[in-house]
Amino acid sequence: MKKSIALVAHDNRKSDLSEWVKHNREKLSGHRFFATGTTGSLIKEVLDNVVCLKSGPLGGDQQLGAMIAEGKIDMMIFFWDPMTSQPHDVDVKALLRMSVLYNIPTASNRSTADFLITSTLFSDETYVPLRKDYSTYLNRHHGQ
């Protein structure tokens, strides 16, 4: 089954993600990719089937967050830079929150990305992550 995979990298991590994609090209081929801005341009040089969204600071992170909420993303590889403050940190946090909220497997470094794509679940066509129903939480905490 084709997976829809989000690929995101901050400036200081773009070369790491690009190298990881090149190294895993065979394993990744045949899947669909959604990448933010410049990251998408780099990934298109290595993989087919890449949709480029806006740059993260210009709304790309929010586009991906919406796609996660709509069930259009199966997993996310997000090589973020822990050493540099980002002008759009609030968008980054919101994107990571969406991946947790909707139980999307998410890797923030190469080791975790390697674990995700080498897991037997990566190619298991029957695996569907559990989705928590937050409607009772919302009703309880917002007086609805």
SS3 content of the chain, % helix, strand, coil (to 5): 50, 15, 35
Catalytic choice (16, 48, 61, 81): 61
Give the pLDDT confidence score for residue 85 in this predicted structure.
Answer: 72
Place of tokens 């917002």: 142
**CB within 8 A of 39, min separation 6: which ones?**
7, 8, 9, 14, 17
Q: Note whether 60 and 86 are within 8 A (CB).
A: no
**CB within 8 A of 124, min separation 6: which ones?**
none
The one-letter code for the residue type at 4 is S
Q: Residues 32-69: pLDDT tens digits?
A: 999 999 999 999 999 989 999 998 888 899 999 999 99
Which fold does the domain 4-141 belong to in CATH?
Rossmann fold (3.40.50)
When comparing pLDDT for 107 and 139, which is higher? 107
Pairing of strands 32-36, 4-9: parallel
Given pLDDT bands bounded at 50, 70 and 90, which one contains residue 143?
low
> CA nearest 112: which of 12, 16, 14?
16
The CA–CA distances, whole Å, from 140 to 3, 46, 97, 135 equal 35, 48, 20, 9
pLDDT at 89 over 80: no
Taking the domains of the chain in order of start, what are their residue ranges? Answer: 4-141
Computed on alpha carbons and rounded to an integer, the radius of gyration of the chain in Å comes to 15
What's the mean per-residue pLDDT of the chain? 90
**Residue 61 annotated as catalytic:** yes
The CA–CA distances, whole Å, from 142 to 72, 98, 132 equal 28, 20, 18
